[in-house]
Chains A and B, each alone.
Chain A
Amino acid sequence: NAGVTQTPKFRILKIGQSMTLQCTQDMNHNYMYWYRQDPGMGLKLIYYSVGAGITDKGEVPNGYNVSRSTTEDFPLRLELAAPSQTSVYFCASRDTGTVNIQYFGAGTRLSVL
């Protein structure tokens, strides 16, 4: 059971570089989410999607972009990396019509130097 898969696991970026964090799920879930986790803090919602072609901002969307071309994939794009984006990023998904139980990937640890 793959569940939610995130790549890469670790990445170091220089200020101003760009990158895409990949997320894919094999549970046929319509809802997908991106969170960031800063040290000593809970997770904060960046973006979410309710299905292919539909995305919306969460609590901390600035500096990020997303797309959802398929049910399975929900990549997160950083266009101009800044030190404030150093964090651990988690992707999650859930089924519709159920209690909001979300399934998380193992995370991507990103450092911007």
Chain B
Amino acid sequence: GNSVTQMEGPVTLSEEAFLTINCTYTATGYPSLFWYVQYPGEGLQLLLKATKADDKGSNKGFEATYRKETTSFHLEKGSVQVSDSAVYFCALSASYSGGGADGLTFGKGTHLIIQP
């Protein structure tokens, strides 16, 4: 079946540090890949997405590149801020773009803590 594995947290960084959160996946076919962010007490919000190999998703200074050869979708940011403190989830959708009602398959989440 489909699965997503992401690095365990918590990850603690100082403000302005470089961030990488690793994510690898197992899926048949051509999944779409997502990063969601969950701020304390809130629901999940889409951070960025990629729908095919070599696509780069980006938003709010975060980036992730869909690497089919390594089945990875690592999240990166060049300079983190205290306001980036949250839980980050890597997820995949097995249905091809536009088709299917399948749910998302999520990783366990990585708690990111940014210290001033």
Which A1-37 residues have C-beta < 8 A from chain B? 4, 31, 33, 35
B106 A43 Cβ-Cβ under 8 A? yes
Q: Does A48 contact B (CB under 8 A)?
A: yes
Cα of A48 to Cα of B101 in the assembled complex, Å = 8
Complex-state Cα separation, A107 to B87, whole angstroms: 15
* A contact set with B: CB distance below 8 Å: 4, 31, 33, 35, 40-45, 48, 50, 56, 58-59, 90, 92, 97-107
- Which of B11-19, B61-69, B72-80, B89-97 contacts its partner? B89-97
CB–CB A40/B43 < 8 A = no
Partner of B4, one of A42, A48, A102, A104: A42
Closest 7 CB pairs of A and B: A42-B106, A45-B103, A100-B93, A104-B43, A104-B44, A106-B43, A43-B106
Chain A residues whose C-beta falls within 8 Å of the C-beta of B116 in the assembled complex = none
